[in-house]
Amino acid sequence: MTDLTRRTFIGASLATLVAGKMSWSRSSEGELIDIVPFVEEGGSPIGTLIEGSHQGRLVVDLAKIRQESLVTPNDEFFIRTRYPDGLKHEGPWEIALRGHVREETTLRLSDIEGDAESMGSQLLECSGNSKFRKFGLLSSAEWSGVPVATILDRMHPSSRATRLLVTGHDEHSDVRTPRGKGASWIFDFEQLDRAGAFLATGMNGKPLPKDHGEPVRLIMPNWYGCTCIKWVSELELVDDEAASTSQMREFSSRTHQDGVPEMARDFIPATMDQTGMPIRVEKWRSEDGVFYRVWGLLWGGDAPTDRVSIRFREDLPAEPLENLDHHRNDTWTLWSHTWRPTEPGRYDLTLSVDDPGIRTRRLDRDFYLRRVDITEISQTASRTGL
């Protein structure tokens, strides 16, 4: 972060504080003086659109998230793959309906747009999100669309149909992976129903932007983004003998599969576990000296919990998050924690969920570990060890 950006960020934070738009505990009263950068991350530019088709990217600046701005604007929402440069579409958008159906046909998008409804806030994360991109392949938006169940009724499944193969346009000239072309995923009917799957046609009150699937994409709430097929072109009803698709095999390790299953029926749901991470470390000064305020996000999982702790180094005890109001899993939750390190040095910030009934595969691997270098501490904290 440049000095100018840091000064601008601090100024905006102070203005928000003065306006009373954020919740602060008594321990955070004081003057915000700096933002401590995360270290050993980077590479990819943040908030800058990278040109390309399949290789096009946009990485979100998560440090900007505040309680009053939890919805990501359309022009800032992360992009993992841009509009296919080989897709030259003209005329009404049509989706082929085929497979184990009463009669194969095509569905014009205009025929179902009137059935579109609000689907609320839904978070998407790229399964390949990593510290190389400062974990910025992560966003949340307000979506509208048509439930997949509505489309399945129109397809009139035969008795053989047990799964839905969703395929989207994938005509990219710069594909670098060995899978070749083909964006598709297979879901069984129970998975679609449990997730509340829908074909999205709107995003934050506007039609889908071009790079986000215009005019229609699949949203599988709480599943990784690789399953949320964009530019949907075909819906095919298949049975239990369907082979896994090239995209399923490519993303098998990133979606926690056991090896690379050859059959779609052997894929476990590509859902996001409960997870979280810090997104911003603020340096404050008060009458008692320097202290730090850590802000972060919690997302994924299927059950709210308040049993979340933060650890600042392996040799230090975990501390329950100070400010956490977690009551939904369809989008992210913002949390904060006051931190008074007792000595300068490098710290590793990680979260844990203290509930054995909640699965946390990525947290268990310290996947979202973030490091900071602390150069100034409170003399009071140093003397007391608090």
Report helix, strand or coil for 198. strand
- Residue 386 is predicted with a pLDDT of 53
**Which residue type, as a one-letter code, is found at position 105?**
T
Task: List, in sequence order, every residue forming a beta bridge with 41; answer none if it has no partner.
Answer: none
**Cα–Cα distance between 203 and 285 in angstroms, integer?**
40
Average pLDDT, rounded, for the chain: 90
Asked if the bond preceding 304 is cis, omega within 30° of 0, the reply is no
Q: Which residues contact 375 (CB under 8 A, 6 or more apart)?
A: 344
Rounded Cα distance between 63 and 365, Å, is 23
Query: For 182-211, how does the pLDDT look when each residue is reduced to its tens digit (9 = 90+)?
Result: 799 999 999 999 999 999 999 999 999 999
- Residue 11 confidence (pLDDT): 53
Tens digit of pLDDT for each residue in 75-131?
Answer: 999 999 999 988 988 889 999 999 999 999 999 999 999 999 999 999 999 999 999
Q: Give per-residue pLDDT as tens, 23-35.
A: 434 444 789 999 9
CB 210 within 8 A of CB 83: yes
Tell which residue, 308, 341, 313, has the closest CA to residue 327: 308
For residue 178, name the pLDDT band (cuts at 50, 70, 90): low
pTM here is 0.90
Cα dihedral across residues 50, 52, 55, 57: positive or negative: positive
Please tell me the predicted confidence (pLDDT) of residue 4: 41
* All structural domains of the chain with their residue ranges: 3-36+273-384, 67-266
User: Residue 295, SS3?
Assistant: strand
pLDDT score for 12: 52
What pLDDT is attached to residue 15? 44
Token pair in block for residue 97: 């309906």
Q: Which residues contact 236 (CB under 8 A, 6 or more apart)?
A: 96, 97, 98, 99, 164, 165, 167
The Cα 33–Cα 186 span in angstroms is 51
Topology alike, domains 3-36+273-384 and 67-266: no
Residue 295, pLDDT > 60, answer yes
Kindly state the DSSP code that residue 178 receives in the 8-state scheme: T
Q: 21 pLDDT exceeds 50?
A: no
Which fold would CATH assign to domain 3-36+273-384?
Answer: Immunoglobulin-like (2.60.40)
CA distance 189 to 279: 36
- The correct answer on CATH 3.30.457.10 for the domain covering 67-266 is no
Phi, psi dihedrals of residue 107, rounded to the nearest 5°: -115, 120
Nearest alpha-carbon partner for 237 in 373, 104, 38, 64: 104
Is residue 68 predicted with pLDDT exceeding 80?
A: yes
Residue 137 tokens, joined = 């392949």
